Amino acid sequence: MTTPLLGQMMDVPLTVSSLLAHAARHFGDTEIVSRRIEGDVHRYTYRDCEKRAKQLAQALIALGVEPGERVATLAWNGYRHLEAYYGTPGFGAVCHTINPRLFPDQIAYIVNHADDAYVLFDTTFAALVDCLAPQCPKVRGWIALADAAHLPKMQTPVLSYETLVAAQDGNYAWPPLDERQASYLCYTSGTTGNPKGALYSHRSTVLHAFGASLPDAMSLSARDSVLPVVPMFHVNAWGIPHAAPLTGAKLVFPGKDLDGKSLYELMENERVTYSAGVPTVWLGLLNYLREAGVRFSSLNRTVIGGSACPPAMLRTFQDEYGVEVIHAWGMTEMSPLGTLSKLTWEQSQRSPDEQRKLREKQGHVLYGVDMKIVGDDGRDLPWDGVAFGDLHVRGPWVIDRYFRKDDSPLVDGWFPTGDVATIDQDSFLHITDRSKDVIKSGGEWISSIDIENVAIAHPAVAEAACIACAHPKWTERPLLVVVKRAAFDVTREELLAFYDGKVAKWWIPDDVVFVDELPHTATGKLQKLKLRDLFRDHVLPSALADEKDCPLARGNPV
């Protein structure tokens, strides 16, 4: 066998510290602005940030944290959190971001499962930490992201982040690491069972940052001022804390206030051009714009993902406010970016209606992700925009196995996402459901997301969820659960009539129920499992009619 001829380029490892080092050296004066828990707006530069991240690394090393150990964060988007993003993996430890909106028991499970050595927390979470500390005896210290004067009164003994950092001089060189070493640990939301950990590597994080920055992805640049609304405790804020220093974009962190007014004011004050978040947050922002009669003066594009972006929201942003919406799909197990709805030149020559339909889908994959849809028999399904199948992915920033789990989740080398989708001739992905949420009516599948999108386009509907309801003849039929917009009214019949001509007749829900609110997960997604439980005994009017023909309805014993 002949020896392969190796390339003769530098073998520089792809480490996350190199991203911040690049920004500090080449965009040293670019600002990072944060609305703080303390109530003021803090501003400093990438140069300052790198120095303090190095001081943090020195402080953690002085506390005895070893490379490979996990240091957790329970924090909002802010400059100290960013320092933890770099100061921890920068010396080889792992930054473990925890979602504070999870139930305390789940958080305790996660801290113990990850075996976190220290936990850095924003003082808003002081009560939560007091509740967690007794359940997490292996944590060696709880570090409040505050100076000594702002330490909250707590039962748990805590350290002051600022005191620890101030004790170090920042005279520290990021060590060279193996790029396959772990960088970040993110747990899934755990809607069923315990959350599972996705352990990213330096290499996967840096490659993902490159991918995320591409023109047909997040398209970030040194001319942007970017405000990630998506939390840094949820899948690394979709990679923005890495893509921003890579491209030299200014960063603006909103802290804990994510209401429409707070976000709008910060966007205007900091000339924000670019933002990213889940649909629920944008609902609040759009409501505020409407009520206050104000417009954006600098925001020109925003990424919406995490759950399906309702077409009505896409239209409002684009048609009323001139803001380009980039619909994105991904997941914790994918670092998270998979697809984005940017059009090719040819697609942008099509009719406005056709273009809109494409943008409503989740879009085209990035280089670095490959995808396919498969049927129940595991065979590939056609990319015709019609065939629904289980979506599988693979690539250098896709999970290989879960943290501290031996069994591989992969099927033939692909990761099954648990999403159901179509892919069309344009290679555009359209997520129709989570596999466990899809409605199986008479052997055919109905997309609950499509049904919800129609409902949300009705002016009287604030939020809608479509779930499967037992049916004697069809096994399952769609039930629509709706929250009305304040001061608006609509009847069941009016809503059902609203579907005429918008979806196939047999997709129209069999019933509508109005509720005051819908249950959400810790990451703002509809909690359909809980809804299905709540409506387990709901009897569809159509089921009553059909029951006469089929006495085994609704799980009646045989």
Just list the catalytic residues: 188, 333, 440, 445
Question: What are the CB-based long-range contacts (under 8 Å, 24+) for 456-463?
Answer: 456/310, 456/312, 456/313, 457/310, 457/311, 457/312, 458/490, 458/495, 458/498, 459/485, 459/488, 460/484, 460/485, 460/488, 460/489, 460/490, 461/485, 461/490, 461/495, 462/283, 462/486, 463/283, 463/518
State the Rg of the chain over Cα: 24
Q: In a 3-state reduction of DSSP, which class is residue 313?
A: helix
DSSP secondary structure of 483-497? EEPTT----HHHHHH
Would you say 161 or 388 has its CB closer to ligand AMP?
388
Nearer to ligand AMP, 188 or 275 (CB): 188
* Structure letter (DSSP) for residue 349: G
Closer residue to ligand AMP in complex, CB, 273/432: 432
Q: Which residues of the chain form contacts with ligand AMP (CB under 6 A)?
A: 188-189, 235, 305-308, 327-329, 331-332, 336, 362, 417-419, 431, 434, 523
**Is the Cβ of residue 437 or residue 511 nearer to ligand AMP in the bound state?**
437
Amino acid symbol at 261:
K
Handedness of CA 62, 66, 68, 70 (dihedral sign): negative
Is 93:84 a contact under the CB 8 Å cutoff?
A: no
CB of residue 327 to ligand AMP, shortest distance in Å: 6
Element (DSSP H or E) covering residue 514: strand 511-514
Least Cβ distance, residue 317 to ligand AMP (angstroms): 15
Q: Among residues 89 and 338, whose Cβ is nearest to ligand AMP?
A: 338
| CA dist list (Å): 2 to 5, 6, 301 | 9, 12, 52
Q: How far is the CB of 350 from ligand AMP (least distance, A)?
A: 22
* Residue carrying the six token digits 């850095």: 120
Q: How far is CA 139 from the centre of its chain?
A: 27
Q: How far is the CB of 410 from ligand AMP (least distance, A)?
A: 16
Say how many C-beta atoms besides its own lie within 10 A of residue 296's C-beta. 19
How far apart (Å, rounded) are the C-alpha atoms in residues 496 and 503? 11
Q: Which residues pair with 187 in a beta bridge?
A: 197
Residue 449 beta carbon to ligand AMP: minimum distance, rounded to whole angstroms: 6
Closer residue to ligand AMP, CB minimum distance, 130 or 324: 324
Which pairing describes strands 141-144 and 116-121: parallel, antiparallel, or unpaired? Answer: parallel
Q: Are the beta carbons of 84 and 95 closer than 8 angstroms?
A: yes
**Looking at 357-471, which runs of residues are DSSP E strands?**
364-365, 370-374, 389-394, 415-423, 429-434, 439-441, 444-446, 461-471
Residue 449 vs 479, nearer CB to ligand AMP: 449
Structure tokens at 525: 């997604």
Q: Which is nearer to ligand AMP, 248 or 363 (CB)?
A: 363
Which of 33, 107 has the CB closer to ligand AMP?
A: 107
* Choice between 246 and 399, CB closer to ligand AMP: 399
Minimum distance between the CB of residue 235 and ligand AMP, rounded to whole angstroms? Answer: 5
Least distance between ligand AMP and beta carbon 130 (Å): 27
At 320 the three-state DSSP class reads helix
| Cβ pair 465, 447 in contact under 8 A | no
Whether 543 contacts 511, CB under 8 Å: no
In the complex, minimum distance from the CB of residue 525 to ligand AMP, in angstroms, rounded to a whole number: 6
CB of 342 to ligand AMP, least distance (A): 14
Here the tokens at position 381 are 């399904």
CB 307, min distance to ligand AMP, A = 5
| Sheet containing 141-144: order of strands | 158-160, 141-144, 116-121, 70-74, 94-97, 182-187, 197-201
